[in-house]
Amino acid sequence: PDSSATSVPAATQESSGVGAANQAPSSDQAATPPADDDEIIYAEAQVTSASVAILESFPVQVNVIVQGNFPDGCTTIDQASQRQQDNTFFVNLITARPADAMCTQEIVPFEEIVALDVGGLKAGEYQVVVNEQPFETFRLTADNTLPNEGTSEQGVLPTDDTVYEQIFIPATGAAMSVPAAWTRTDFQWSPGSEGTPSIGVVWTELDLEWTPTSMLPEGAELISREPVELEWGEGVQFQLEVKDADGQLTSIEEHLIAPLNRTVVYDFYASGATYQDLEMVKDAYEAMIASVELNANPAFQGLPESCTPNVARALYVDTERRYCLLYPAYYPQPVEQNGFVNISGLPQSEGPDPIVASLIIQIDGAAGGQTVAQVVDQVVGQYSSLPITRRATTLSDTEAVLVEGLPGRFGSRQVFAVYNDTIFHLILMPVDDAFPQLADEVEMLGETTTSSFTFLP
């Protein structure tokens, strides 16, 4: 190919990255006299080989892997452009180097990957030409388009009239919209009952060791990575291929890690067994991301005023058991495990098992038609020899019983209530003279949580 170069002052050249649409200067254009320290020399890249890689996807993705040599250590790829004419793809690579740079005069190998625009191509054979040199051909065995269907065996796929519902994340105060008819498992949604393909979200609090890739599946193969700017923050978009130990493809995933400038970061993901599966949930995935509100108003969710958070009080909502409450904002995020919810403060002692102010919320099963008094009678009756006290109280305007003196590692104050024939059991601890340093905090935790605790319809 013609490797003659022309020089253009950088101040008059639009900035462009790899893949920019700017055309390289014509090789027969008169050269600008070297009069500026910012002068840039452009030339066609010296290409030695080009191979075609067809990714395991549908629609098919085709990459051209171009290899060649830079004449010195200062030259870089400035532009990579492509055009299609009939069944031929013409790829053009342009290099740039500062005219006045002191460079090592050694040949430097390079490799550039160019993703061809093959969406919508008809089945057939296609030729690849790079910098006027013909290289490999590739064949499409089928038209490179998805079938235009509104329904599928996968389930209820999104359409223009898909009904979305807003979902609230109680632990963080964020909200987003997802298809209302999809099957939900925690914070994952799927158009079918098998759980795939799916969209979803997970989140984590940032620490010193956090990086965006730490939220991605371990061992996944990175296909692409690009920064994105959203109305609600900046992020990084990843596309991955996940394979098993034998190298067999198990899923194709997209992950948006954002926002990058807050203490809580989210991973909004879409996953499918194949590229075609992933495409089926793409519209819902993009709609979910576009609808994100980082500081959503819980009143929109129909939550009562008693559960409105503020700078001092954080919100917890149990959407399955249908209740909400507030807890001190400086506390760690409540832990949900084995059917228990643990709201605990900061450690007040050292060691592997520090003492903390805690509220444990557990469900003791169905009441079977019993009143809360009858439930407490059964519990207290097991310890008739102990000086256990009880008194009537309320929890969310529902009849409840407060019990003190039940055996345990620490002294505790326990509240029992029956709502919708379900036994709710709240345990506040330590209520114990052995820990005077925690007395005020325990009282504050108990007052904050029980006074705001509200059963939801």
Shared domain check, 168 and 136: no
The angle formed by the CA atoms of residues 400, 402 and 404, to the nearest 5 degrees, is: 160
High-pLDDT (> 70) share of the chain, %: 84
**pLDDT (tens digit per residue) in 350-374:** 767 788 999 999 999 999 999 999 9
Is there a domain that residue 85 lies in? Answer: yes
The whole-number average pLDDT for the span 225-236 is 88
pLDDT score of 443: 95
Is there a domain that residue 412 lies in? Answer: yes
**pLDDT (tens digit per residue) in 311-327:** 688 888 887 888 999 99
For residues 284 and 351, the model is more confident at 284
For residues 36 and 278, the model is more confident at 278
Shared domain check, 375 and 409: yes
Shared domain check, 171 and 135: no
Distances (CA, A) of 138 to 155, 253, 443: 34, 26, 73
For residues 332 and 8, the model is more confident at 332
Is there a domain that residue 148 lies in? Answer: no
- Residue 266 clears pLDDT 50, i.e. is over it: yes
395 strand-pairing partners: 398
CATH number, position 285: 3.40.1000.10
pLDDT score of 152: 39
- Residue 225 clears pLDDT 80, i.e. is over it: yes
Q: How many domains does the chain have?
A: 3
pLDDT score of 378: 94
- Residue 255 clears pLDDT 80, i.e. is over it: yes
Q: 0.75 exceeded by the pTM?
A: no
Note down the domain range covering 447: 323-455
Shared domain check, 344 and 272: no
**pLDDT (tens digit per residue) in 400-455:** 999 999 998 889 999 999 999 999 999 999 998 888 989 999 999 999 999 999 99
DSSP collapsed to 3 states, the chain: CCCCCEEEEHHHCCCCCCCCCCCCCCCCCCCCCCCCCCEEEEEECEEEEEEEEECCCCCCCEEEEEEEEECCCCCEEEEEEEEEECCEEEEEEEEEEECCCCCCCCCEEEEEEEECCCCCCCCEEEEEEECCEEEEEEEECCCCCCCCCCCECCECCCCCCCCEEEEEECCCCEEEEEECCCEEECCEEECCCCCCCEEEEEEEECCCCCCHHHHCCCCCEEEEEEEEEECCEEEEEEEEEEECCCCCEEEEEEEEEECCCCCEEEEEEEEECCHHHHHHCHHHHHHHHHCCECCCCHHHHCCCHHHCCCCCEEEEEECCCCEEEEEECCCCCCEEECCEEEEECCCCCCCCCCCCCEEEEEEEEECCCCCHHHHHHHHHHHHCCCCCEEEEEEECCEEEEEEECCCCCCCCEEEEEEECCEEEEEEEECCCCCCHHHHHHHHHHHHHHHHHCEECC
pLDDT score of 257: 93
**pLDDT (tens digit per residue) in 47-104:** 999 999 887 666 778 999 999 999 998 999 988 889 888 889 999 999 998 988 888 8
pLDDT score of 149: 36
Shared domain check, 281 and 215: yes
Shared domain check, 225 and 174: yes
On average, the pLDDT of the chain sits at: 83
pLDDT score of 46: 92
Is there a domain that residue 446 lies in? Answer: yes
CA–CA separation, 348 and 356 (whole Å): 6
The whole-number average pLDDT for the span 292-305 is 70
Single residue among 278, 296, 314 that ends a domain in this structure = 296
For residues 257 and 311, the model is more confident at 257
Report residue 297's pLDDT band, with 50, 70 and 90 as the boundaries: low
Judged by phi (left if over 0) then psi (alpha if -120 to 50, else beta), residue 247 lies in left
High-pLDDT (> 90) share of the chain, %: 42
Is there a domain that residue 66 lies in? Answer: yes
Shared domain check, 252 and 181: yes
Instruction: Find the radius of gyration of the CA atoms of the chain.
Output: 31
Report residue 218's pLDDT band, with 50, 70 and 90 as the boundaries: confident
Is there a domain that residue 209 lies in? Answer: yes
Shared domain check, 289 and 252: yes
Single residue among 281, 296, 311 that ends a domain in this structure = 296
Shared domain check, 233 and 182: yes
Shared domain check, 126 and 185: no
Shared domain check, 52 and 130: yes
The whole-number average pLDDT for the span 149-176 is 64
CA–CA separation, 344 and 270 (whole Å): 33
Is there a domain that residue 312 lies in? Answer: no
Shared domain check, 285 and 382: no
**pLDDT (tens digit per residue) in 26-44:** 434 434 444 455 688 888 8
Is there a domain that residue 149 lies in? Answer: no
